[in-house]
């Protein structure tokens, strides 16, 4: 699985801690991690939580990433922005139990975490435990197990509902403020990671045309 890490400006100084915890868990399980930044609070390309959502939508819908790990001070802003995007199903995850239940019941493709609120002593251990619950083993099995089928059915209904209420991602890219979009994809390694992995020709061509 290709996992994208996105960190917004207020918590950019913690990118290294988050990235280290994520790779320590995900890479031994055979997953790839792509760190889209921000990398430091001084990065020239600055991401707001709104841009986090837009970038998550680009990565998921183009299949440049299978899963997005993001967040902000409380985790709520990035979660809301991600869920505004077509095809993105993002949970607010605070602890390993949240991660386990989200993975088994909702089986979404993105999480948002609080990196300021409650981010104290041994925070990196909580991050690692969350990632283990998410990425070690099969997701979507249901909890409790006897409700697995109704949960699977509800995920399908939610997916259909979102498809009916959202525009497709290319239309979103064409419709949003173009300066906002340019800022969302201005990260240092965006071109390197995105164009090597993206599979949607329409999204790829539009972004190439936008940025030259």
Question: Per residue in 66-100, pLDDT tens?
Answer: 999 999 999 999 999 999 999 999 999 999 999 99
Q: What's the fold here for domain 2-211? A: Ribose 5-phosphate Isomerase B; Chain: A, (3.40.1400)
Average pLDDT of the chain, as a whole number: 97
The confidence band for 212, taking pLDDT boundaries of 50, 70 and 90, is confident
Q: What is the pLDDT of residue 128?
A: 98
Evaluate whether 143 touches 123 at the Cβ level (below 8 Å). no
Alpha carbon separation from 181 to 48, 55, 82, 93, 207 (Å, rounded): 12, 8, 14, 26, 9
For tokens 């077509």, the residue is 86
**CB count, 10 Å around CB of 201?**
10
Nearest to 47 by CA among 76, 71, 27: 71
Question: Per residue in 30-76, pLDDT tens?
Answer: 999 999 999 999 999 999 999 999 999 999 999 999 999 999 999 99
Asked whether the predicted pLDDT for residue 159 surpasses 90, the reply is yes
Burial 21-58 (b: 16+ CB within 10 A, else e): bbbebbeeeebebbbbbbbeeebebbbbbbbbbbbbbb
Residue 20 tokens read as: 């280290």
Instruction: Note if the bond before 144 is cis, omega within 30 degrees.
Output: yes
Asked whether the predicted pLDDT for residue 9 surpasses 90, the reply is yes
Question: Per residue in 96-151, pLDDT tens?
Answer: 999 999 999 999 999 999 999 999 999 999 999 999 999 999 999 999 999 999 99
DSSP code of residue 105: I
Distance from the first to the final alpha carbon of the chain: 29
Asked whether the predicted pLDDT for residue 158 surpasses 90, the reply is yes
């Amino acid at each position: 699985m290709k996992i994208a890490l996105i960190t917004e400006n207020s918590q950019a100084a913690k990118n290294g801690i988050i990235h280290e915890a994520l790779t320590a868990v995900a890479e031994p399980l055979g997953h790839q991690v792509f760190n889209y930044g921000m990398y430091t609070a001084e990065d020239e390309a600055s991401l707001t939580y709104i841009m986090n959502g837009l970038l998550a939508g680009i990565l998921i819908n183009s299949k440049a990433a299978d899963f997005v790990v993001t967040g902000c001070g409380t985790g709520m802003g990035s979660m809301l922005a991600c869920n505004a995007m077509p095809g993105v199903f993002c949970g607010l995850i605070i602890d390993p139990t949240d991660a386990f239940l989200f993975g088994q019941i909702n089986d979404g493709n993105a999480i948002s975490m609080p990196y300021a609120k409650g981010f104290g002593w041994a925070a990196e251990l909580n991050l690692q435990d969350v990632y283990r619950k998410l990425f070690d083993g099969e997701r979507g099995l249901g909890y409790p197990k006897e409700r697995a089928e109704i949960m699977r059915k509800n995920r399908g209904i939610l997916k259909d509902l979102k498809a009916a209420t959202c525009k497709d991602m290319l239309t979103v890219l064409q419709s949003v403020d173009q300066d906002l979009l340019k800022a969302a994809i201005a990260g240092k390694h965006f071109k390197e990671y995105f164009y090597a992995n993206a599979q949607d020709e329409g999204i790829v061509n539009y972004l190439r045309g936008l940025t030259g």
